[in-house]
Structure 1
Amino acid sequence: MVFDALNPFAAKNITNIGGTGASYKWGLGDPQDIKKLEPKLNLIKEFRTSELVAYSRLPLAMHAIVRVMDTIPTLRRMNRVLLYRF
């Protein structure tokens, strides 16, 4: 199973997603916490933004932002793609 997850900081501070009025209700700090919901799920990989296929197509300004965010733990894990196996 693959999905993207925000950390609690991002979930709390990102509002009005895409101008829809939608908001996040929760965030996932530690990817291992998902085992509390489903013990059979095992984390295989946590993908960093720079590891994603589409990263190379992002504007150079986004590359710079990602590099800066990678130096701050809370921001580095703000949004990530998680791969689990049952």
Structure 2
Amino acid sequence: MRNSSHSLHGSAVKCCAVCGGKFGLIRYYWWRTALCSKKCVDRFKVRRDADHQWLRFARGLVHATEHQAEKRSAGNRA
């Protein structure tokens, strides 16, 4: 996705947040993000879902690491 889809002066968005293309007669919005087509809406959803899956995976790794550390410290106490 583009880093700055808004201009510095706060005026309207001039290009699609996913592909950078120009808007036609219809703008699509998803999560307050202006998109140029249904194809870009689908791309945006897929990218967002991939980010969510990665975050769930990372949280699982952190949880597993903490769990293993707890097991080690409980074993050292005994």
**Higher RCO, 1 vs 2 (CA within 8 Å, ≥6 residues apart):** 1
Which structure has greater strand proportion?
Answer: 1
Larger radius of gyration: 2
TM-score by length of 1: 0.22
Which structure has greater helix proportion?
Answer: 2
